[in-house]
Structure 1
Amino acid sequence: MSDRESLIDVTDGRHLRSRDSKQKIVSAMLELVREGHIAPTAEEVAQRANVGLRTVFRRFKDMESLYAEMSLAISEKVAPVVDGALAHDHWWDNLNQLVDRRAKVYEIVMPYRVAAEVLKFQSAVLLTHHRQIVNDERERLLSVLPRNVVKDQPLIEALEATLSFDMWNQLRNDQRLTEIEAGDVVKRIVTSLLPQNSQK
């Protein structure tokens, strides 16, 4: 083996170890956030990831990169739920399915969204990701509604607020409702907002 080939092997090995340690750190951070640690310390991450503290400190110098990796991992986790086709002919049934789907997603991402709400103004990555999520949620809502409802701007804003993560977090964590109870409240508000004749 030539010196150049040996150097390539060594470099490739370092890259693989670097990626492996980064993935361990990202996984550890996701686990800790899920358990309620909004901003895990380097010591907590090192212990959970089973990597050296110096490795974690080196990664923590580029928190934006770690936040981007975490956001990607969470997006991939909920993609099968979010991207599934709506299966009904009537828009009202599709809206109900969208409400149920959003509640399911919120339950999966709740600890991460709560942490992101706290940290997003310290991180351009988290703030950008938050805005992308909100825009995507609005577009998905608009896509199932009939034209006469979409044209009613105050109604759209009210529906978006009702179906937001902030509302779900309020019901689940502040008012301490169960998932089923929170879903019933959201559906009651949605039903009361929409004109009765449009629901048929």
Structure 2
Amino acid sequence: MPAASSTPELKDGRRLRSARTRQLIIDAYLALLRERPQIPTAASIAQRAGYSVRSVFERFPDLHALRVAATDEALLRASAQVAAQPTNGTRMQRLEIHVETRGRTCEEWLPLWRALNANQGESPELKARIRVIREMVMRRIEEIYAPELATLTPRERRQTVLAIEALVDFESWARLRGPFELSFEGACAVWIHAIDRLLPKTSADC
């Protein structure tokens, strides 16, 4: 009887350990991506996570599945960061909130974005994640600049949103921080100035 009653607890413990191992492997993959541009190998991921290569492939059928899982993890984290920021305030307050949040997102997730684009190939899963990321960025633009966008025709609104989305792209941030050697604050200032010029003036700005 005691052995039978402990079976569910043993199973729960194994599930929790397996879930923890899986999370540590995902964390290791993301950490390695941030440190160097090369796509991490199974051996390097296992070493960083503190497990064997076998443990990696017990949780993921292949490295592609691991990339998809890591992308989903990043999406959850980035979504939480964005959702925590308000969408109201003066025009300049909203500009500063949007740009600083977007800048920090680009700072943290640029390596993963590049890995996604480099490895999407014929993968419908990765292509779908790239599309979701772009849609999230556009929804954020529409939400935070709703007062300004509401003054435009549908065609003008769409053009403005697309222009801002292109402006705050990962690679745009990488150029400002890399070749142009701007500080975080300096890169934010460039984006704020450009977005402010793209947006129409409203009665509240007069």
TM-score by length of 1: 0.80
* Mapped partners of 1:42, 1:156: distance in 2: 40
Partner of 1:167: 172
Q: What's the CA shift string for 1:68-107, capped at 9, x where partnerless?
A: 432343234334430122241x445423422222112222
Partner of 2:49: 49
- Correspondences of 1:46-85 after superposition (within 5 Å): 46-83=46-83, 84-85=85-86
* Mapped partners of 2:153, 2:187: distance in 1: 25
* Mapped partners of 1:23, 1:192: distance in 2: 43
Partner AA of 1:82 in structure 2: V
User: Aligned residues: percent identity?
Assistant: 28
Partner of 1:86: 87
* Mapped partners of 2:119, 2:194: distance in 1: 30
* Mapped partners of 1:12, 1:80: distance in 2: 28
| Contact 1:64 1:125 (C-alpha < 8 Å) held by counterparts | no
| Contact 1:67 1:125 (C-alpha < 8 Å) held by counterparts | no
TM-score by length of 2: 0.78
Higher mean displacement: 157-166 or 40-49:
157-166
Q: In angstroms, what is the RMSD of aligned CA positions? A: 2.9
| Contact 1:28 1:49 (C-alpha < 8 Å) held by counterparts | yes
- Pairwise CA distance, 1:14: 3.8
Q: Count the aligned residue pairs.
A: 199
Q: What's the CA shift string for 1:125-161, capped at 9, x where partnerless?
A: 3322221121121112122232224631433322221
- Given candidates 186, 189, 192, the residue that maps to 1:184 is 189
CA separation of 1:52/1:4 partners in 2, compared to 1, >3 Å: closer, same or farther? same
* Mapped partners of 2:13, 2:160: distance in 1: 57
- Pairwise CA distance, 1:166: 2.9
- Pairwise CA distance, 1:35: 0.9
| Contact 1:150 1:156 (C-alpha < 8 Å) held by counterparts | no
* Mapped partners of 2:170, 2:11: distance in 1: 44
- Pairwise CA distance, 1:185: 1.9
- Pairwise CA distance, 1:51: 0.8
